[in-house]
Amino acid sequence: MLVSIGAKPERPKWLRAPAPSGENYHDLKALVDRLRLHTVCESAACPNVGECWNHRTATFMMLGNLCTRRCGFCAVPKGRPEPIDFDEPRRVAEAVATLGLQHAVITSVNRDDDLVGGARAFAMVIDEIRRQAPGCRAEVLIPDFQGNEEAIRIVVDARPEVLNHNTESVPRLYRIVRSGARYERTLRLLEYAKQLNPAGITKSGVMVGLGEETHELLQVCRDLAAVNCDILTIGQYLRPSRDHLPMARLYTPREFAELKVEALKMGFRHVESGPLVRSSYHAHEQAASTGLAVLA
């Protein structure tokens, strides 16, 4: 199903998510506001915010709400951020404990102004979650830290249960999709994390519908499998606004199912593939499928 540039077709039923509502949603929003936190659910305009927040799950976004990069797909605000708030990890862990989470997902904006400081904040939040919410598993979705091995090592040494870094797109489209990123750097980060902690679970995600060809997408899957990435997520790119990259194509549920079959043949321990899949969508279930967690 091809979509012309600038067109705004009606979304099919399988791309419609329920609107945010309900007591749990409002309680979580009040908690986030009280602790002065950010969530990628809101900042990145995730379509699953209603479903996830009603189930009292959220992906917390650290290091402020201003990103130092200008990726063409992302709705997170861009600009010059404030200095890193090193009390933020404590407040994130307080929210995790208040919600009684079994599996917490923490991400951040890019902080190219302070790579090691950003990594320290991730290590701190992992430690704080273990202190304030014993038994809760920590999944961190980290930036590439410009390939800085000291920063990557700081995060891996904190031993998150899952270390995620998204690939997002195919190499040919990196210049327009991931400003400031490098495809080889992404693969190296995941490979290096495995070398530092071979028993650790690594994870990555890709978006489809930005103009990639199927053979390019499958090659990305092979490259990720080659660096022993354990979990792969595949989801549909949805244009946040007219200021973002246009959507070139809508994939059908059948195509997502076919991509999952092909990716599983490559050796991934789990593949989550669907129109509304995002990297943290059903993260607890993804971890469980690797043997890392037991579902309650």
Query: What number is the average pLDDT over the span 225-234?
Result: 97
Give the contacts of 113 (CB within 8 A, at least 6 positions apart): 68, 80, 81
d(CA 63, CA 85): 7
Domain limits for position 217: 19-289
| Beta-carbon contacts of residue 127 (< 8 Å; ≥ 6 apart) | 89, 158
pLDDT digits (tens, 9 = 90+) for 154-182: 999 999 999 999 999 999 999 888 888 89
* Contact (CB, 8 A) for 137 and 288: no
Assign 118 a pLDDT band (cuts: 50, 70, 90). Answer: very high
Distance between CA 86 and CA 249 in Å, rounded? 41
Residue 22 has a pLDDT of 56
Counting residues of the chain whose pLDDT is more than 90, the rounded percentage is: 53
Instruction: Tell me the helix, strand and coil percentages in the chain, rounded to 5.
Output: 40, 15, 45
Q: Which pLDDT tens digit goes with each residue over 248-282?
A: 899 999 999 999 999 999 999 999 999 888 776 66
235 part of a folded domain: yes
- Residue 91: strand, helix, or coil: helix
pTM of the model: 0.83
Write out the H or E segment, with its range, that includes residue 282. Answer: none
Whether 162 is in a domain gets the answer yes
Q: Answer whether residue 161 is part of any domain.
A: yes
Evaluate whether residue 4 is within a structural domain: no
Element (H, E) at 142: none
278 token code pair: 């995002």
Between 191 and 238, where is the model more confident? Answer: 191
Residue 5 within a domain: no
Answer yes or no: are the C-beta atoms of 189 and 202 closer than 8 Å.
Answer: no
How far apart CA 259 and CA 281 sit, in angstroms, is 17
Most confident of 41-45, 77-81, 185-189: 185-189
For residue 223, give the CATH number of its domain.
3.20.20.70
Q: Report if residue 1 sits inside a domain.
A: no
Answer yes or no: is 295 within a domain.
no
Confirm whether 294 is domain-assigned.
no
Domain count, the chain: 1
CA atoms of 17 and 269, how far apart (whole Å): 27
